[in-house]
Chains A and B, each alone.
Chain A
Amino acid sequence: MRKFLSQLLYFCLLIFSINFMGNFVFTNELADEDLNRKFGEVANGSYDCIFVGSSRTYRHIDPLLFDSITSTRSYNCGAASTFVPEAYYVLELLLEDLKGRKHGVETIVFEVQNMDLLDPRNAFTAKGNYWLINDYLKLATESIWQTQLPIAIKISGSMTFALGWAINHFGFNYLSIWSGSESITAAHEVRGHLCLNKQVELGIDKEPLLERGELYLDKQSVLEQRRRGWFRADSLRIAERGELSVRHLAKMRALIDQSETQGIRLLFMVPPRLKSYSSIIPLVTQLGEDRCIDLSSPVQYPGFWTTDIGFDIGHLNCRGVQLFSSELARNYLKLTGVQSDDDRTVIVQ
């Protein structure tokens, strides 16, 4: 038995060693093919405003519409299923990438998200762990331990991140050939943005998207629950009892410093219709109004919380995208102190 187990162990060690070398040699830092393509575009195009974030950036911000109001030349570098630490990682890589180049980027608008736990299934996918290097494992686990989650969830959540880290280093990621998604290819033509309705029109992953849309219409009460959730989180802010993640705040401040040393202004954007705002609102309060474009408030922007501008529960349809991009542009002008030549202010009600 001992001989059998030792042989098995040696074989596993051999495989892990090969994988470690493979991951070290062959894996691109930005293993996400979709983002790779977008980075290439940012590096080669002459853009002055870049959007970084998840699907709520990728799907909601139409750079052409934004530019028509702000007179900027912007590019949407958002990607679907981008996790919070992954977004930090992407932003850091982008800043690193810009460091060595001659570029015109003046502003980066970074989406503020909830820090979700990594699903164990995602820990096994290259997309779910390619960004899990030592620093981000530390950030993720520290963030979990700063929450008010039950101890068992803190342990299992930390273990899942550790598993993702191990797979990123010793797993078979370097063998995966990332082909990139068709939607990003289509988005390439329109400054990296693709509205969900437009994707359905193009027939890309049409069926699952339509199912999502139908499910949303069937369960409209969820949107109302989320709206009430925003008010609850806001009342906690007033009472100064919100769930502020010190770790995230520190990370964001470090990113602000890093970008400013490179002459880039980092702004933060909060989208509407998120699952929870209990950790986001305190974070935004700490970052300050001069850095944040908070479009989440149902009081200020009731129009973003209506059923008819949604594609699914968390994402807007093309009409919603128009309203959102315009409102974002208007707020952007306010923060950057530039007056628009175009007086097309959209009132969202």
Chain B
Amino acid sequence: MLFNSIDFAVFLPVVFLLYWFGLAEKRKPQNYLLLIASYVFYGWWDWRFLGLMLFSTVVDYTLGLQIHRTTAVRWRKTLLAVSLSVNLGLLGFFKYYNFFIENFIEAFSLFGTNFSIHTLSIILPVGISFYTFQTLSYTLDVYNRKLIPTNSFIDFAAFVSFFPQLVAGPIERASNLLPQFVNGRKFDADLAVIGLRQILWGLVKKILIADNCAQFSNQIFETYDSQPAHILFFGAFFFTLQIYGDFSGYSDIAIGVSRLFGFRLMQNFAFPYFSRDVAEFWRRWHISLSTWFRDYLYIPLGGSKGGKYMQLRNTLVIFVVSGFWHGANWTFICWGLLNALYFFPLLLSGKNRANLEIIAAGKLFPSIRELWGMVSTFLLTILAWILFRADSMQQATSYIYRMVSGIADFEQIGVTKRFLTEEVGLRLVLVIIGFTAIEWLGREGKFGLDELPDKLPKPLRWTLYVCLVLLIFALGGSQQEFIYFQF
């Protein structure tokens, strides 16, 4: 079920009313309801994979309890290994099996050995990477004695399958989300209002920005070999906006919906395109995944201890694994590598934590230095997204080569001007400018509309909401599936 669908527009109010009115704030029945609603939500896409999620839930629930009860170190390690093997095994089979087989065959064919191993036509279960990482965080935290496992299977199953963030995150830590299922929830009107605001802003990002930009980025990436360099640049630019609108829009809706049910999820995006360097970008982009890798991979690998070499090695590992997490394709791995390369100079010069505070905090405009940092980081990001969007390395390299080599070809400016005025049109340009302005003005909050409306008197605030709703319906792009569903 898509957040921007009619089905969800019916589903959400029904579950909301049952949750708060039908069950009168009773914790257990509420958790049962959330569990059923989450399975319906997931089964709406493909009910056959409900069994897979249930299996993963049963395994981690059982192993979590066993790990906690056992004192023998060896046995605890064995149980953890079983949990890791099951979770990563399922993920590996559904997501990476064909990739490994194809590369295995190709690698050996270079040495003249031909294998006849067949690939399988495997359907990738939606959100498997997200809920697998969520359950992994549970067993790892229990193993590290950071979390006491729950005895209630229903609470645990509701935590794993919690529908707002089930298919595209944020990837919640068990230590944050699980206690919210274990403890009761009281209706908090302020939290619900902020939740609705965040849902509205998420829909603006998805429908107004991402879906509108998608039609141009898709068209340009599909016909890249016949497009002039400047249009290729705009193709990458539109994809840069699309992926932000799409993914952060989903996160906003997920967090907003959770708030309606009395849950507080972690912030997943913090205005990443206003970052002054790549390190800051990665502290602001897909925060739940970055911090997951930091806590469960970077730190166990040694983190920053052991000198610069170890720091570089561990950073490289994180970026490559992060790229691979996104998909079984060399383009994602190279995207991770490129980001690591962006990161290394900052790490070596010790400037990777230079920009921790919000850009131009308390001011209306950034300084020239901040602006330069922001623009240069944005351009580097655009370049990296080409790898992420391309279907193959051949397409990515060819796209980048055509774009870079022809950038000084000013004879093509007429074509680009026609593309911008006749195809893209002033309407979309104004929408992007308006959206960027609201994001900039709201950058000190958790999302664009977090604090900004509170500064306005009620009539103006409601006018803003009404305008946004009407804009969504008037100028929204054609419905596209969320990009991150495929991961």
Contacts and interface: CB of A to CB of B under 8 A. Distances in A.
Contacts of B100: none
Interface stretch (A1-9, A71-79, A262-270): A1-9
Nearest to A124: B6
A11 B462 CA distance: 8
A39 to B, nearest CB: 25
Interface string B15-58: 00000100000000000000000000000000000000000000
B189 A1 contact: yes
A7 B458 CA distance: 12
Interface string B212-245: 0000000000000000000000000000000000
Contacts of A124: 6
B20 A15 contact: no
Contact of B470 (A3, A7, A18, A121): A18
B20 A1 contact: yes
A18 B474 CA distance: 14
Interface in A124-139: 124
A14 B462 contact: yes
B470 A172 contact: yes
Interface string A4-24: 100110010011001000000
A8 B260 CA distance: 12
A4 B193 contact: yes
Instruction: Identify the interface centre among A7, A121, A124: most chain B CB within 10 Å of its CB.
Output: A7
A236 B38 CA distance: 49
A14 B466 contact: yes
Interface in B455-487: 462, 465-466, 469-470, 473-474
A47 B470 CA distance: 42
What is the predominant secondary structure among interface residues of chain A facing chain B? Answer: helix
A153 interface: no
Nearest to A120: B6
Given A11-B462, A14-B462, A4 B189 contact: yes
A4 B470 contact: no
B390 interface: no
A175 interface: yes
Contacts of B465: 11
B187 interface: yes
Interface residues of A, number: 15
B428 interface: no
B187 A1 contact: yes
A1 B6 CA distance: 25
A15 B471 CA distance: 12
Interface in B179-225: 187, 189, 192-193, 196
A4 B466 contact: no
A269 to B, nearest CB: 35
B462 A4 contact: no
Contacts of A8: 196
Contacts of B6: 120-121, 124
Contacts of B196: 8
A77 B6 CA distance: 33
Contact of A4 (B192, B469, B473): B192
Nearest to B472: A172
Interface string A169-191: 00010011000000000000000
Contacts of A11: 462, 465
A42 to B, nearest CB: 30
A273 B351 CA distance: 74
Instruction: Identify the interface centre among A120, A172, A176: most chain B CB within 10 Å of its CB.
Output: A172
A162 to B, nearest CB: 15
Interface in B307-364: none
A4 B192 CA distance: 8
Interface string A138-151: 00000000000000
A167 to B, nearest CB: 10
Nearest to B187: A1
A140 B50 CA distance: 40
Contacts of B187: 1, 4
Contacts of B473: 172, 175-176
28 contacts: A1-B20, A1-B187, A1-B189, A3-B189, A4-B187, A4-B189, A4-B192, A4-B193, A7-B193, A8-B196, A11-B462, A11-B465, A14-B462, A14-B466, A15-B466, A15-B469, A18-B466, A18-B470, A120-B6, A121-B6, A124-B6, A172-B470, A172-B473, A172-B474, A175-B470, A175-B473, A175-B474, A176-B473
Interface of A: 1, 3-4, 7-8, 11, 14-15, 18, 120-121, 124, 172, 175-176
Given A3-B189, A8-B196, A18-B470, 4 more contacts: A1-B20, A11-B462, A121-B6, A172-B474
- Which 8 interchain pairs have the tightest Cβ spacing? A172-B473, A175-B474, A4-B189, A175-B473, A1-B187, A4-B192, A124-B6, A15-B469
